[in-house]
Amino acid sequence: MAIKDVSFVVVCYNHARYADRVAHFLKHQNDVEDAEFIFIDDGSPDDTVVAFRRATEGWQNTLVHRQDNKGPSNALNQGLRQATRKYVKLVGGDDLLHPDATRLLHSNIKANNAVFAMGRLKAFDFRTGLEDTAYWENLMAEPGEGSATLINDPLMFLLKSMDFNPSCVLLDREVAMTAGGSDERIFVEDYSLCLRMALHGVFVSVAADVAYGPGGDEARLSFDGAQTLHDMNAALANLLRDQADFSRSLKNRITRSALGRGCNWARRHENAHVVSRINLLYLLANLRIGSWPLISTSETMMQAACEPFGRSRDIRRPIPEANTRGTRA
């Protein structure tokens, strides 16, 4: 059955060199008809807008929207606001979709009455052009249907790990908007959106490669581990501020997750001593009587969880107050 209820939202920044490949695999999604395509350029200094307009020339239901640079979280939310279909397929401006990506995620999100479906990410050689058809055919061999796993407690799932990126995701747009979209107080967009949606329904995970990221491209945002991990902890800190009614145990679990991430980074990259402040706070967070945590959380703990990532690296912040402008084909 043809899929007619999906908007593709592509967040772009300095992705002109990927435009042709991204557009090609968007246009060749199996079983998708009458799709909506929304490209949000977050103030790229290169010719990303020109490249995507050229790559999508003649497409129907297509918006190429340029805004002053505010960061990925704001850009993703702009895409969600512009979208009009029930489901949104997120795509990074340098990521490629498997031809069956939308079909697999769409069938599973509906079959499981989920609000969020995700698959797996695989790398592609960013130097390979579309003319090398043998390479792409081999890389994107049929993934099969992929077994599906229902995630009934997605928040706990996200506290343990997040091994997917936005291009692996199909989500219910209305639920995403109700949840508040991405947290625009944070630069990186995906983890905060996932956390917020985890409070509004079940997730489903599909064991299939649905998206491909450019391996070896050091300009890629996910290549910056400090930024990504800092923003994961910042997202957890903001979640605790926004959800004051969480149970004591859940607050403690979130705090331990953030502090553990910060401790690991501090030990591996900042040569933190075993009796460093963050390690002591992590030990304190783990103290309990039976199953009862002695401390639920504190601002000090969450601030400490974020600090190690910025000690020897610059952490980017969202830029406020942007003007936006766009054109719809």
- pLDDT tens by residue, 238-257: 999 999 999 999 999 999 99
Asked whether the CA dihedral 322, 21, 190, 218 is positive or negative, the reply is negative
pLDDT in tens, 178-202: 999 999 999 999 999 999 999 999 9
- Last residue in a domain, options 150, 185, 218: 218
CATH of the domain at 213: 3.90.550.10
Partners of residue 172 on adjacent β-strands = 87
The answer to whether residues 133 and 11 belong to one domain is yes
Residue 46 lies in a domain: yes
Q: Mean pLDDT score of the chain, rounded to an integer?
A: 93
Mean pLDDT lowest among 87-96, 116-125, 142-151: 142-151
Residue 252 lies in a domain: yes
Per-residue pLDDT band at 273 (split at 50, 70, 90): confident
Question: Is 203 in the same domain as 233?
Answer: no
Q: Is residue 164 part of a domain?
A: yes
Do 157 and 293 fall into the same domain?
Answer: no
Average the pLDDT over 2-8 and give the result.
97
Determine, yes or no, domain membership for 320: no
- Helix/strand/coil for 116: strand
* Residue 272 belongs to a domain: yes
Residues 181, 256 share a domain: no
- Which residues face 170 on adjacent strands? 89, 117
Query: Based on the domain organization, do 196 and 241 belong to the same domain?
Result: no
The reply to whether 34 and 101 lie within a common domain is yes
231 and 151 in a common domain: no
Nearest to 198 by CA among 215, 223, 225, 180: 180
Residue 240 is assigned to a structural domain of this protein: yes
Q: Are 235 and 192 in contact (CB under 8 A)?
A: yes
Query: Average of pLDDT values for 127-148?
Result: 90
From 196, 218, 240, the end of a domain falls on 218
For residue 105, is it within any domain?
yes
Intra-chain end-to-end CA distance of the chain, in Å: 27
Least-confidence region, from 95-99, 212-216, 272-276: 272-276
- CA dist 139 and 147 (Å) reads 20
Which band of pLDDT confidence, cut at 50, 70 and 90, is reported for residue 38?
very high
Tell me the mean pLDDT in the region 266-274.
85
* 83 and 157 co-located in one domain: yes
Q: Same domain, yes or no, for 212 and 237?
A: no
* 87 neighbors 171 (Cβ within 8 angstroms): yes
User: Total structural domains in the chain?
Assistant: 2
324 assigned to some structural domain: no
User: Is the same domain home to 229 and 183?
Assistant: no
In this predicted structure, what is the pLDDT of residue 328?
36
96 and 195, same structural domain? yes
**The token pair that represents 133 in the structure block:** 């058809």
Domain of 105 in residue numbering reads as 6-218
Domain-ending residue, one of 160, 187, 218: 218
Query: Would you state the structure tokens that stand for residue 256, as one six-digit string?
Result: 């331990």
Percent of the chain residues past pLDDT 90, beyond the cut? 87
What pLDDT, on a 0 to 100 scale, did the predictor assign at position 314? 92
Domain shared by 206 and 79, yes or no: yes
